[in-house]
Amino acid sequence: MKKQLKPIPEFKTEDEEREFWSTHSSVDYVDWSGAYRPTEPFPNLKSSEDLIELKLPLEEIRKLDALAKKRNVTRDVLAQQLLHAAIQQVPGQAHI
């Protein structure tokens, strides 16, 4: 006889869902008996990011490196954060 599964609640946010699954086991909500591990994980998945190249004066790169070290992040991560924050400050661009 199959185990009666509990219904998965509807979540309003990803944070709410993350909190739920951090305290509940999926075996109570999902029938894993027909699950299989794909041989090629997500073959049609497209990246939501793209790579750009920026040329900056060496002095700016040194400043970026120093600030990244203070924040304990990589140069690339800090550059992403700063660029994202700057784009959000452009009037009319916050919802793009």
Give me the residue spans of the domains in the chain.
Answer: 1-34, 49-96
Please answer whether residues 26 and 32 qualify as being in contact, where contact means their C-beta atoms are separated by less than 8 angstroms: yes
User: How far is C-alpha 46 from the geometric centre of its chain's CA atoms?
Assistant: 14
Q: In this predicted model, what pLDDT tens digit does every residue of 52-67 receive, in sequence order? A: 999 999 999 999 999 9
Please answer whether residues 68 and 78 qualify as being in contact, where contact means their C-beta atoms are separated by less than 8 angstroms: yes
Q: What is the pTM of this model?
A: 0.49
Token pair in block for residue 72: 């304990």
Cα gap 38→23, rounded to integer Å = 27
Q: What is the mean pLDDT of the chain?
A: 88
What is the CA angle 80-83-84, rounded to 5? Answer: 80
For the ranges 2-6, 24-28, 38-42, 77-81, which has the lowest average pLDDT? 38-42
Is 70's pLDDT higher than 90? yes
